[in-house]
Amino acid sequence: MPLTNERIEQIIGNLGRSKILILGDIMLDEYLLGVVDRISPEAPVPVVEITSSKQLLGGAANVAANIRTLSEQPILLGVVGPDEASSKLNGLLKQKDITADAIISDETRHTTIKTRVIAHGQQVVRADREDRHELSPETEQRVLSKFASWADDIRAVIISDYGKGVITASLLEKVIRICLDKDIFIAVDPKETHFFNYRQVSLITPNHHEAGFAYGRRIRTEADLMEVGAGLLKKLEARSILITRGQDGMSLFQDGAEPTHIPTFARKVYDVTGAGDTVIATFVAAVAAGADLVEAAVVANAAAGRTIGEIGTASVTPAQLRHELLLNVKNGNLITAGSGG
């Protein structure tokens, strides 16, 4: 059935009633904005004259920001270093009214910082400062203990895995077991190296490159897409897989149901930074608000279409999400029926 105006109002109206835990790699996103009007005499590279800068929550922290903007209560669980970047992160979290109580400080790590230099609306270069070694057994146990202490209070878990060492195979196994035992919806934004550790999750959200790489078949055609989606669903014993496909939208594969293909809502694409964070946060928030998996995919697609029209990571409010969904219902852009087309 199509997603109706009435159903949209029901889902949006139910937002803000759940605690959602986000476990993963916490980052600080730094943007240096400027202009280019000359080439360096030292090397054939542009000289960017910086005119402004900003710092935003990144990685798992950006997922938490998306959850908070949707009026849900995020619990952010991850590991940072005892450094200036973590202090800045704490300040940004406080501004967003996101608790830092579940964040663990590890003196053996640096807080991840991604610095992007933007000139004339385009990214010139990105510089990363980070540690990627896996957590020590002691720190991993601290993370697991924090998770267990919240498990009875949360509606869903989002695993935000950027491959920075927080999400280990043993931690994943224990967290997934707790979620299955307590019937907690668990969604994963995957990293290719851990792909087949995400077994029996409720949702996994690879892009088409990640999905093809994990399955061992590049997605070039609709037939490739169908094989990869169905194959991964079976291999992972997952409840659902949402493959994001850039300008081609998204495809949802569910256990025991036909695939659903949803066209992109984006009118202009300025910056895809953080789009995956928006997709998984909005999907999970919609499920917590009573949406079925197809409805949640449509809602997440609408949110992503809005955020990639802005520079830098962005979040969507319930009012903006309602507007985007109602606009696309009016324009006939919503596809919520399973199809292979």
Model confidence over 210-235: pLDDT tens digits?
999 999 999 999 999 999 999 999 99
Name the one residue in this structure whose structure tokens are 């949702």: 203
Report the pLDDT value the prediction gives residue 69, as an integer from 0 to 100: 95
Report the pLDDT value the prediction gives residue 193, as an integer from 0 to 100: 83
Give the ranges where the chain is alpha helix by DSSP (H): 5-13, 60-69, 84-95, 137-150, 169-182, 208-215, 222-236, 275-288, 293-307, 318-330
Q: How confident is the model at residue 266 (pLDDT cuts 50, 70, 90)?
A: low
Range with the lowest mean pLDDT among 79-83, 155-159, 285-289, 314-318? 314-318
Assign a CATH topology to domain 5-26+58-113+130-330: UDP-N-acetylmuramoyl-L-alanine:D-glutamate ligase (3.40.1190)
* pLDDT above 90 (res 328): no
Distance between start and end Cα atoms, the chain: 16
How many CA atoms are closer than 13 Å to the CA of 13, on its beta-carbon side? 6
What is the mean pLDDT of the segment spanning 143-163? 97
Is 245 within 8 Å of 236 (Cβ atoms)?
no
* pLDDT above 50 (res 116): yes
Range with the lowest mean pLDDT among 31-40, 246-255, 302-311? 302-311
Active site residues: 277
| Long-range interactions of 222-226: CB distance < 8 A, separation 24+ | 222/340, 222/341, 225/251, 226/259, 226/340
Report the pLDDT value the prediction gives residue 334, as an integer from 0 to 100: 61
Q: 95-124 as b/e, with b when 16 or more CB fall inside 10 Å?
A: ebebebebbbebeebebbbbbbbbbeeeee
What is the mean pLDDT of the segment spanning 228-252? 94
Helix axes 318-330, 5-13, angle to 10 degrees: 170
Amino acid at 119: A
C-alpha 98/C-alpha 90 separation (Å) is 9
What is the mean pLDDT of the segment spanning 97-125? 96
Report the relative pairing of strands 240-244 and 250-254 from DSSP bridges: antiparallel
For 8, phi then psi, to 5°, come to -60, -45
What is the mean pLDDT of the segment spanning 244-264? 89
To the nearest whole percent, how much of the chain has pLDDT over 90? 80
Q: How confident is the model at residue 2 (pLDDT cuts 50, 70, 90)?
A: low
What is the mean pLDDT of the segment spanning 120-139? 95
Q: How confident is the model at residue 4 (pLDDT cuts 50, 70, 90)?
A: confident
pTM of the model: 0.91
Report the pLDDT value the prediction gives residue 189, as an integer from 0 to 100: 93
Report the pLDDT value the prediction gives residue 313, as an integer from 0 to 100: 47
Report the pLDDT value the prediction gives residue 270, as an integer from 0 to 100: 45
What is the mean pLDDT of the segment spanning 229-242? 97
Q: Which residues share a beta bridge with 187?
A: 158, 203
C-alpha 282/C-alpha 156 separation (Å) is 12
